[in-house]
Amino acid sequence: MPTSIRRGAIHARRFFILFMVLLVTLLVGRGAFAQTADRVVTSAGTISGRVAATDANEVQLEDRAGEMKKIAIDQIREVQFGGEPAELKSARSMLLRGRAADSLEELAKIEPTDLDGAEQILLDEVDYVRAAATARVALATGGDPREAGKLVADFVAKHPDSHHAYDMQELLGDLLARAGRVDNALAAYGQLAKGPPAFKVRAASARAAMLLDQGKHAEALREFDAAVQIDSSDEASAAQKRAAELGRARCLAQLGKPEEAVGLVQAVIQQADPEDGEVLGRAYNALGQAYRAVAGKEQDALIAFLTVDLVYNKVPENHAEALYNLVDLWEKGANPERSREARATLESSYPGSQWAKKLVAGKT
């Protein structure tokens, strides 16, 4: 082969290799669907593409065909970003499963270099997980709500168009309620109520829960009733209404109608997703409370709280409540050793929780 032809072939090969390297570099960028597609997990399935925009009410996703899809916020379970560190994805997943403390530990594994060159939406996601997890830990363990409240309030102020906006308003309201700032909490819940029907139900339930914590059972029941009666037909609202029914059951048990409360909770348990440990944990705690209000049903109450302790124990608030009740029920059932075990677990695992504090104060 003549030298000139051979040199031409070598140059052509080098050009081809350079072209391929450039192509691969472009493909690993955020716009390459095959490598780094974003994913929106909805109640109906998962849609892949590129998150183009978000606001409080929807996420806009450009799919593989270049078509823009608008996904309503009440249909979204999770948004995953193609370029996010594995630790962020894991931390968010833990947060969604009620494991806020574990979420913070996972988030701490992210190195600053992992986010070099990251888009703002990804940096905002890190801020969201950190603020939300810190808030949930504070609420579950009885920690100072002010520090967590500042993180959440800062996120709300800086990111009004985030797809997490309503969730963060609810968290802000819960923290303000815990801090005794009732009017501010109601204002935050008012922002939550501006969302789709499912969020209106959550807002009414949040107001009711605040009243329930204050021991205002009749007023709380009226708010829970209002939540259940909100006009809606979507599944997201139905799920929130089932949660509101648990609140109604707690109120009814305190208002001298425990049998009605038991029936309400049993209906929720039958309708619940068997994999939804958070809801089922709340449900069995509510069932235990209802049985405690019925004479001669102590054994049924014990079984309900044991179900949370042994099966649905991943959410700290649920587990702590169950342990608190087991301390008393085991003692009354002439099983002091089991009572001491439950007390030790509550005090060591959830020392700052409201349930540990009630135990120290001798409240039952």
Tokens of 138: 């504070």
pTM score: 0.81
Mean pLDDT of 144-154: 92
pLDDT of 9 above 80: no
The answer to whether the CB of 95 falls within 8 A of the CB of 103 is: yes
pLDDT in tens, 197-237: 999 999 999 999 999 999 999 999 999 999 999 998 888 89
**What pLDDT, on a 0 to 100 scale, did the predictor assign at position 16?**
53
| Percentage of the chain modeled with pLDDT above 70 | 90
Contact predicate 163/76, CB 8 Å: yes
Res. 97 pLDDT band, cuts 50 70 90:
confident
Listed in sequence order, the residues at least 6 apart from 223 whose beta carbon sits closer than 8 Å to its beta carbon are 204, 205, 207, 208, 211
What's residue 206's pLDDT? 95
20-24, 59-63, 351-355: the lowest-pLDDT one: 20-24
d(CA 189, CA 193): 6
pLDDT of residue 131: 96
Residue 11's pLDDT band (cuts 50, 70, 90): low
Query: CA 260, 284, 308 angle in degrees (round to 5)?
Result: 165
In this predicted structure, the answer to whether residue 68 has a pLDDT above a threshold of 80 is yes
CA distances (Å), origin 163, targets 59, 86, 160, 357: 7, 21, 9, 36
Question: Of 344, 292, 282, which is closest to residue 314 (Cα–Cα)?
Answer: 282
Q: How would DSSP label each residue in 212-260?
A: HHTT-HHHHHHHHHHHHTS---SHHHHHHHHHHHHHHHHHHHHTT-HHH
CB neighbourhood size of 352 (10 A): 14
Q: Confidence band (pLDDT; 50, 70, 90) for 18? A: very low
Q: Across residues 241-264, what is the average pLDDT?
A: 96
Average pLDDT, the chain: 88
**Per-residue pLDDT tens digits for 290-349:** 999 999 999 999 999 999 999 999 888 899 999 999 999 999 999 999 999 999 999 999
| Predicted pLDDT of residue 31 | 37
Residue of 8 and 357 predicted with greater confidence: 357
Instruction: Write down the pLDDT at residue 174.
Output: 94
Q: pLDDT tens across 75-88, in order?
A: 999 999 998 999 99
Return the pLDDT at 363: 57
Position with higher pLDDT, 316 vs 162: 162
The arithmetic mean of pLDDT across residues 249-275, rounded, is 95
| Count of C-beta atoms within a 10 Å radius of residue 70 | 11
What's the confidence (pLDDT) of residue 30?
Answer: 39
Distance CA 354, CA 212 (A): 14
pLDDT: is 352 or 32 the higher one? 352
Q: Give the residue from 194, 227, 235 showing the smallest Cα distance to 209.
A: 227
Give pLDDT, residue 12.
Answer: 53
